[in-house]
Amino acid sequence: MVNLRRPILVGGVGLSFGAWLLQSMHPAISDLGGTAVWGAIALGSGVWWLKQQTGKKLDVSTPVPLDRSQVEAVLASIDTQINQLAPELERVDAEAAAASLTHLRDRLTHLQAELDRHDLRMAIVGGTSVGKTTLSQLLNLHWALQLSAALSSVSVSDTASLFTEADPALSLPASVPDTDLVLFVTAGDLTQQEYEALQQLITQGYRVLLLFNKQDQYLPSERPTVLHQLRERIKAELPIEDVLAIATNPAAVKVRQHQPDGTVAERLEQPTPDLTPLTDRLGQLIAHHRQQLILATVMRQAGDLKQSIQAELNRIRRDRAMPLVEQYQWIAATAAFANPVPSLDLLATAAINTQLIVDLGAIYHQSFSVEQAKTVAVTLASQMLKLGLVEMTTQAGTHFLKSNALTYVAGGLLQGVSAAYLTRLAGLSLVEYFEEQSATPTTDGLFQVDRFTQKLKAVFQDNQRTVFMKTLVKQAIDRLTPEPSHTGVEIKAGA
C-alpha cells in the first residue's frame, strides 16, 4: 500500500493527472501546467539555493600537531555515535542490541583508558627472510631492558611476514593494530611489493621506521648507495632520519693472523650485530615523542571503531531505505504508464523525487524542508539530463521491450520502465550520498552537488548491467500490463 500521508507526493501526482485532464480539453494547457509547476519549484527554491551557495567558505585551516584534546573529542563523538545507533538497533532486535551496544561501549572504555598508557609497543614487519626474528630477539634481549630502565616500558613483538610469494596481498598480523611504532625491515632496495605495503601502513596512520638489514650481503662501497636509494625513493613518505641501516646477523668473516714462526693462521670471526642507528633513533622517539605515538595509536583505533559503528548504522538504515526506493520506483512507473502525455510525466516525477528525498533524508537524519527537497529534486533531474542518463535509459528500455512484441505496443510501458529505472537510480544515489554525509557531515549542512553527481555516476555504472535491465523490464511487464479481473482491468502498481 502507498502511504497517502505524503502531501508532496499526492499533490504532485494529482496535479500531473489534473493537468492531463485539462489538456484533454485544450492541448495548450499541458504546457502551462508544466511551466507553472517547474517554475514554482525553481522560484521557491532559487532563493534558498543561492543563499546556501553564497554561504560557503573556503577551508584554509592548516594541520596542527595531534594532542590529547583532539583524541578525546573523537572519543566523545564515538559515544554520540553509539547513542545514535542504539535506537536503530533496538528497533531491529532489542535482545541482540543490548549485547552489541555493550561490546561497543567496552571498546570505547578501553580506548579512553589507553590515553593514560605509558608503555610503548613496537612491531617488526617485512617480507620473508629479511631478519625480523633475529632483530626481535636482539631488541628484547639486549636493548629493550636498557630503554625500559632509562625511559619507559617497551615491548617488542615479532610478527609474521606481511606477504609471501604465494600470497602477495598485504596482511597485517594481529599485533600490528595495537602498535605505536612499526619497524619495517628490508634486505636491500625496496621491491614494488614492499613499497606498496609500506605505503599502505603509512596511509593507515602507522608511524614507521624503515630498516635496511643484511648490509653484509653488499660490498662496503655499495652500502651507502643502497641506503641513499632507499631514502630517495621513500622521501615523500618518511623523513631521512627514519630510514636506517642495521646489521642483525652479519656474516662471519675470514681473519688471517701471522704466527711468530712465520705461518699464517686463518679463522672465522662473527662480527657483532650493529643496531646503533636504530637504538639511537628509538631512544629519541621514546624520550620526546612517546605520548604522540600513543595518541596516534588511539586515534587510529578510534577511527576504526567509528567506521565499524557507521557501517552497522548504514546497514540498518539501508535495510529501511531500500523497500522505500522500490516502492517509489513503482509509483513512478505506474504514474508514467497511466499518464498518456509524456511531458506531464515530469510533474509526477518531480513530486515523487521530492517526497523520496524527504523520506530518505528522515531515515538518515538529514532534514530537508519541502523547498530544500524541491531544489534537490531539480538538481537531480538536471544532473540526469547532463549525464545523458534519461536518453540512455530510454534506449536501453526500448531495446529490451522490442524482444516482446505484445508488450512493446503498450504505449505507456516504455515510459513506465524508464521512470522506474530513473527513480531507482535517484534513490540509490541518495542512499549512497546520505551514508557518506552521515559519516563525514559538512559543517554548513549544504547539499554537495559535486559529491552527489559522483555518486549518481557510480550508481548508474553499477546498475546498467544487462541482467539488471532485463529483470526490471520483466517486473514492469508483470506489474503494469493489464490483466483480466472480475471488475474489469487491474493495474498492479505494487507497494
d(CA 17, CA 347): 9
Which pLDDT band, with edges at 50, 70 and 90, does 321 fall under?
A: very high
Evaluate if residue 206 carries a pLDDT over 50: yes
What pLDDT sits at residue 188?
87
DSSP readout, 123-175? EEEESTTSSHHHHHHHIIIIIHHHHHHHT--EEEEE---S--SS--S----TT
Name the band, by pLDDT with cuts 50, 70 and 90, for residue 24: very low
Residues of the chain above pLDDT 70, percent: 66
Give residue 186's pLDDT: 92
The domain segmentation of the chain, as residue ranges, is 7-56+320-490, 68-114, 120-274
Residue range 131-155: mean pLDDT, rounded: 71
pLDDT tier at 254 (50, 70, 90 boundaries)?
confident
Q: Show the cell assigned to 7.
A: 502531501
The beta-strand segments (E) located in 164-303 are 181-186, 208-212, 243-245, 253-258, 264-269
pLDDT, tens digit (0-9, with 9 covering 90-100), for 222-246? 989 999 999 999 999 999 999 999 9
CATH topology of domain 120-274: Rossmann fold (3.40.50)
**421, three cell numbers:** 529505472
How high is the mean pLDDT of the chain?
75
Q: How confident is the model over 120-138, as pLDDT tens digits?
A: 888 888 888 888 888 888 8
Q: Which residues are CB-contacts of 301 (< 8 A; sequence separation ≥ 6)? A: 111, 114, 177, 178
Residue pair 63/453 in contact by the 8 Å Cβ criterion = no
Answering whether pTM is above 0.85, one says no
Q: What is the pLDDT of residue 360?
A: 92
Q: What is the pLDDT of residues 74-125, one digit of tens each?
A: 999 999 999 999 999 998 888 889 999 999 999 999 999 999 998 888 888 8
* Short-list 423, 354, 335, CA closest to 7: 354
Rounded Cα gap, residues 19 and 38, in angstroms? 13
Q: What is the pLDDT, as a whole number, of residue 49?
A: 37
Q: Higher-confidence residue: 479 or 102? A: 102
Asked whether 155 and 145 are in contact (CB, 8 A), the reply is no
Any idea what the Cα angle at residue 309 is, between residues 304 and 312, rounded to 5°? Answer: 125
User: Using 50, 70 and 90 to split pLDDT, how confident is the model at 368?
Assistant: confident
Grid cell for residue 93: 532486535
The residue among 381 and 23 whose pLDDT is bigger is 381
Nearest CA to 283 out of 118, 149, 124 is that of 149
DSSP lists the bridge partners of residue 445 as: none
Q: Which of 65-69, 88-92, 175-179, 397-401 has the lowest mean pLDDT?
A: 397-401
